[in-house]
Structure 1
Amino acid sequence: MTSYDALLLLSFGGPEGPDDVIPFLENVTRGRNIPRARLEKVGENYYRFGGVSPINRLCRDLKAAIEADFAAHGVDLPVYWGNRNWTPYLADTVRRMKADGITRAAAFVTSAYSGYSTNDQYLEDIARAREEVPGAPVIDKLPAYSDRPGFLDPFADAARDALGRLPGGARLVFTAHSVPLSQPNRALYVAELEEAARAVAERAAPGTPFDLVYQSRSGPPGQPWLEPQIDDHLDKLHGDGVRAVAVVPIGFVSDHMEVVYDLDVEAAERAEALGLAFARAATPDTDPRFAALPRELLAGSPHTGTGERP
């Protein structure tokens, strides 16, 4: 662990007020030729919450929780925070790290999985940010952690709690962000999601039936994406006689807008229209077991080759 002189918390970013929404969405979709009208339509989801995504607040809280875990275990490393798509931008954070004399940092990203958008894109962002900062510190991305107890156990407790708020016979429905079928490393992403869902279901309620479905797809209607989408799956479950569902956002580590809108609003409204009892499990957020993951990953990969380098 002494090989590193800092930890970088790297996340997606999100708007923190109405004026931020469209510029943020332009950052997210840059180079994809998304029409302005489409951005404004998506922006309505954010305006419903005052133009504020919860993700930046949760990152601040997670940073504080990681710092507290470090202090409790004698880890003397500063923790920095940078985002891909909104302030604090990653390049600005790297610039500050250089000014502070940091030479080598480990990056903990708020994405638990392998795959392109959940891993490779972060490596590209790290490389791009370092190119913008001459003499930037080396930054090693810590490994994916979807199989770690610090990720699975908080989800298991949350899934058990959600089931406890429902009548007997509820079904577990795990959700993750859909991606195009053509996306690189899509199969690895799906395999890790399937294993994480199985592990959480076994911990939370052995023998309870469960499904893995997807949410939040975007892009051209004719482009194939991972399916089924959660709303379609709720329709199917209702048709099959299921009367209650506990939805577990296994693809997310905190309450992104895709969780608080796509699940807490859209999916919940669909379930209500169908007469399905509905409960959404909490994400790990700042659970102490999750906040301990950076320390645990650092202990296992200080220059051992298990960290992933851009």
Structure 2
Amino acid sequence: MRPYDAFLLISFGGPEGEDEVIPFLENVTRGRNIPRERLAEVGEHYFLFGGVSPINQQCRDLLAAITTDFADNGVDLPIYWGNRFWAPMLADTLAQMKKDGVRRVLAMPTSAYCNWSSRTAYHEDIERARAELGDDAPEVELIRPFYDHAGFVGPLAEHTRAALDALPADQREGARLLFSAHSIPTAMAESSGGPGHDFGPEGAYGAQLAEAARLVVDRLDREYPFEVVYQSRSGPPSQPWLEPDVNDRMEELAAEGVPAVVVVPHGFVSDHMEVKFDLDVEARDTAAKLGIGYERALSPGTHPAFVSMVTELVREYTERAAPARLSSLPACAERGGVCCKQR
């Protein structure tokens, strides 16, 4: 018997028209008492792009590529797609899987790292959806974090080289690489990895981000100074979040005489709205005001190596193969962690 009946891609979801923007944001912030005016403010980011987030189309493109790669490599699993906050909703997808007779599901979240929002929240959403379907709901197992897989690191390195090459030669020599990821509350970061972890003050999330950045730089043609920065903070000013912010750090680097930065969105698997607005609009504007060079590397997206990685990860589970990892960081589950716990 095959250990799984289907493969499921789980993503965040996003609006695909101006009339969907506010309802989508209400889904994302439900229960958090976010003022309506704040939702309208964030909504303006989407309206700059016609109310369309790129993320759903990026998921469609990835699914098409995975379907082809599965077929080419003999992986015989039907493929499904469900989102946490917008259509196709995860609960609806699991209901369809139940109707289709699916019992055991191998799922991949569109996040490479380990923290509450990128792992535990997925587990919780899955369990809520399963509870609605009753005792015979499909069982769902999440694929492990893949921040240190060659299929994730390799495309980032290739895209970083391309961004460096796009800088004028005189700026490239002294450029700084800023590896950018979504900021989260420091308390959430500290707890990532679970009780008894030894990942440092920023938890498994911060340690994994730093390790992925190192792995990317190791694959460049020469050594560049680099660091991890954060973006997309959304909490109140009184709540500590991971820092430095990408814009604040660029101001400091400009004052130090750094001629240019290349921002690498290594915290993301595709160029969705937070990349397109926070980096392509806000951070680029900051660089222009500071008078420093700016280039932004592409995320993995549908790079062939990234697509092949998905097939390889599936085989780790279907064939019980040893995990292909470039890092020696402990897996969170090895420290009793909840955020990466295999279910």
TM-score (norm 1): 0.97
| Kept in 2: contact 1:140–1:308 (CA 8 A) | no
The 5-angstrom pairing of residues 215-230 of structure 1 reads 215-230=231-246
Deviations 1:10-49 (A, max 9, x none): 0000000001100110111111110000000000000000
Instruction: Select between 275-284 and 128-137 the one with higher mean Cα deviation.
Output: 128-137
Deviations 1:73-117 (A, max 9, x none): 011111100000000000000001111111101001100001111
Instruction: Classify the secondary structure of the residue corresponding to 1:173.
Output: strand
CA shift at 1:298, angstroms?
1.8
Instruction: Classify the secondary structure of the residue corresponding to 2:178.
Output: strand
The 5-angstrom pairing of residues 247-266 of structure 1 reads 247-266=263-282
- The reply on whether 1:210 has 2:226 as its aligned counterpart is yes
Instruction: Classify the secondary structure of the residue corresponding to 1:261.
Output: helix
Task: Specify the alignment match of 2:159 in structure 1.
Answer: 158
- The reply on whether 1:7 has 2:7 as its aligned counterpart is yes
Letter in 2 for 1:49: F
The 5-angstrom pairing of residues 278-289 of structure 1 reads 278-289=294-305
Task: Specify the alignment match of 1:136 in structure 2.
Answer: 137
CA shift at 1:301, angstroms?
2.1
CA shift at 1:6, angstroms?
0.5
Counterpart CA distance in 1 for 2:98 and 2:305 is 30
Letter in 2 for 1:266: E
Task: Specify the alignment match of 1:188 in structure 2.
Answer: 204
Instruction: Classify the secondary structure of the residue corresponding to 1:9.
Output: strand
The 5-angstrom pairing of residues 1-310 of structure 1 reads 2-134=2-134, 135-167=136-168, 168-169=172-173, 170-183=175-188, 184-185=191-192, 187-302=203-318, 308-310=341-343
Counterpart CA distance in 1 for 2:2 and 2:286 is 51
CA shift at 1:132, angstroms?
1.3
Instruction: Classify the secondary structure of the residue corresponding to 1:292.
Output: helix
Counterpart CA distance in 1 for 2:22 and 2:237 is 22
Letter in 1 for 2:139: V
| Kept in 2: contact 1:13–1:83 (CA 8 A) | yes
Counterpart CA distance in 1 for 2:249 and 2:286 is 10
Question: Which ranges in structure 2 are unaligned for 5 or more consecutive residues?
Answer: 193-201, 324-339
Letter in 2 for 1:94: L
Instruction: Classify the secondary structure of the residue corresponding to 2:81.
Output: strand
CA shift at 1:308, angstroms?
4.6
Q: State the identity %.
A: 55
Instruction: Classify the secondary structure of the residue corresponding to 1:139.
Output: strand
